[in-house]
Chain A
Amino acid sequence: MDWINAIIQGALLGGLYAMFAAGLSLIFGVMRLVNIAHGDLIVLSAYVALTTSVGLGLNPLLALVIVVPVMAGFGYALQRLVLNRTMGDDLLPPLLVTFGLSIIIQNALLMGYSADPQKLQAGPIETASVNLGPITLGVMPVMVFAIAVAVIAGLQWMFYRTALGRAFRATSDRQDIAQLMGLNRAHVFGLAMALSLAVTAIAGVFLGIRTSFDPAAGASRLIFGFEAVIIGGLGNLWGTLWGGIILGVAQTLGAKINPGYQILAGHIVFLLILAVRPRGLFPRMDG
């Protein structure tokens, strides 16, 4: 029963990883930008939530109403004012700039908040649980997983059913021809980054409720996000959810064997899948 419990906890944790991954996947898909600062942006979101929830006396879950638009606006500005200047045929300049951004965010957080670990306090809901026979489910993990599914479903719908999604796919296919359709590439990229950071904001708030965080916590979140994207198959959003679940289950099973194996088990499963299926478990079918 312990093992089944661990698998379920891992799967639920996978929802959080899928949200780390979805924002990463989105901007890579639309503009081939590998955002090294993604993990730090997740942590930045947690700090923005900390400041709003403490400053305004809000529950961090309610602070989402502020954190999501703030991060989305920041994403749009970041893309238009900084990253768009580096975009071109060469993948390297934007990669280096986001690497620099990662360092800037970490140091700014260190200056503003010190290196002490922080946590978002969401109140009694954090420890609430429901019993399903022998299995006990935390309300928070179930809620996070449900939100992750909703976020992925929402992104999927946006991508394949809306004008914005059509613009994203067209720009991803052929940037120059998309411009001939009257799409301003700089604006489309800005919207993609805004959406990416909106998802990141949600992920950051739930990360901060789940565990404590400090300014250096971004790197491992970036890795988890990357691993979920690659396991699931690049460009497949539902695959990304599966990637997150597999990573989460691997980590909790690893921790069950030996608490020190948690992270290692995730990396090993990632490498095994990469060795067997280099394009991920669910490579994109269409196009």
Chain B
Amino acid sequence: MPDPIISIQGLDAHYGDFQALYGVDLAVEPGQVVAVIGANGAGKTTLMRSISGLLKNKADAIRWQGRPIGALRADQIAALGIALVPEGRLLFPSLSVEENLIIGGQLGRKGPWNLARIYQLFPILQERRNVPATALSGGQQQMVAIGRALMSNPELLMMDEISLGLAPVVIKSIYEALPDIVGEGLSAIVVEQDIAKALSVSSHVVCLQEGRVSLTGGSGELSRDEISKAYFGV
């Protein structure tokens, strides 16, 4: 087995007195897509926020290519090549579509992604590049959010429920872009509530339930029963 690009061991997370994650383990190998699934409130977004440095962790709970990074600030994590497409998109309303993309690339990391490539992937964004980002439709905003994350040329791309609140055809078109994206050799963590979708894009699944890992395994190897038990806890 190759060394994981990121490995998480015994990760806890708290909001004040409330503990949201309990000893979560997760590893992603280079080029691998790992799906994180779980019901509402299971802790998926909390896990993303912890990895990206928005929540403080113990330094050695998260290792990046072997190096402890759990205590770094969010901007330092981003500089390593870890990008998040946050739940709810969270674009910058004062910035145009193009400015949202440019600021995603402001770290100046080298790699295949630049404005032209993003516009090739999502041509509609080029047409609308000068409008305020939040004037776009939900699906188009999601494309900006994905483009913004790609602009940093990440080695690990994390996507938190990119299909949330979008029409099925839009979800389909966004997921159709996914092979192009991970085809560039980056690794990804995909958070989804839609189990079928999650299994179809990933090689490995981690299921969270009330802040704990309730199941892990190869995406093709787990049975429906195992998954729904781990998912709903029944």
Contacts and interface: CB of A to CB of B under 8 A. Distances in A.
Interface in A223-247: none
A184 B94 contact: no
A169 B110 CA distance: 25
Contacts of A287: 93-94, 132
Nearest to B84: A180
Contacts of A286: 94, 132
Contact of A166 (B73, B79, B95): B95
Contact of B103 (A167, A176, A185): A167
A179 B72 CA distance: 12
Q: Which of B74, B102, B106, B148 is packed against the most chain A CB atoms within 10 Å?
A: B74
Interface in B207-223: none
B125 to A, nearest CB: 17
A166 B74 contact: no
Contacts of B78: 179-182
26 contacts: A166-B102, A166-B103, A166-B106, A169-B95, A170-B92, A172-B94, A173-B92, A177-B86, A177-B92, A178-B92, A179-B75, A180-B52, A180-B75, A180-B78, A181-B103, A181-B106, A181-B107, A181-B152, A182-B75, A182-B78, A182-B107, A183-B75, A184-B73, A185-B75, A286-B132, A287-B132
A26 B132 CA distance: 21
A130 interface: no
Q: Which of A170, A174, A178, A180 is packed against the most chain B CB atoms within 10 Å?
A: A180
Interface string B77-101: 0110001101000101111000100
Contacts of A167: 103, 106
Nearest to A173: B92
Contacts of A173: 92-95
Given A167-B106, A184-B73, 18 more contacts: A169-B92, A169-B94, A170-B92, A170-B94, A173-B95, A177-B86, A180-B74, A180-B78, A180-B83, A180-B86, A181-B106, A181-B148, A181-B152, A182-B75, A182-B78, A182-B79, A183-B75, A286-B132
Interface string B133-169: 0000000000000001000100000000000000000
A26 to B, nearest CB: 14
- Say whether chain A's binding surface is mostly helix, strand, loop, or mixed: helix
Interface of B: 52-54, 73-75, 78-79, 83-84, 86, 90, 92-95, 99, 102-104, 106-107, 132, 148, 152
Contacts of B54: 176, 179-180
Interface in A178-195: 178-185
A111 interface: no
A88 to B, nearest CB: 14
A166 B90 contact: no
Contacts of B75: 179-185
Contacts of B92: 169-170, 173-174, 177-178
Nearest to A159: B94
Nearest to B104: A181
A163 interface: yes
Nearest to A183: B75
Nearest to A184: B75
The 9 A-B residue pairs whose C-beta atoms are closest, nearest first, are A179-B74, A182-B107, A182-B78, A287-B94, A169-B94, A173-B92, A184-B75, A170-B92, A287-B93
B185 to A, nearest CB: 21
Q: Which of B78, B94, B95 is packed against the most chain A CB atoms within 10 Å?
A: B94
A164 to B, nearest CB: 10
B74 A176 contact: yes
B136 to A, nearest CB: 14
Contacts of B73: 179, 184
Contacts of B106: 163, 166-167, 181-183
A174 B90 contact: yes
A159 B73 CA distance: 26
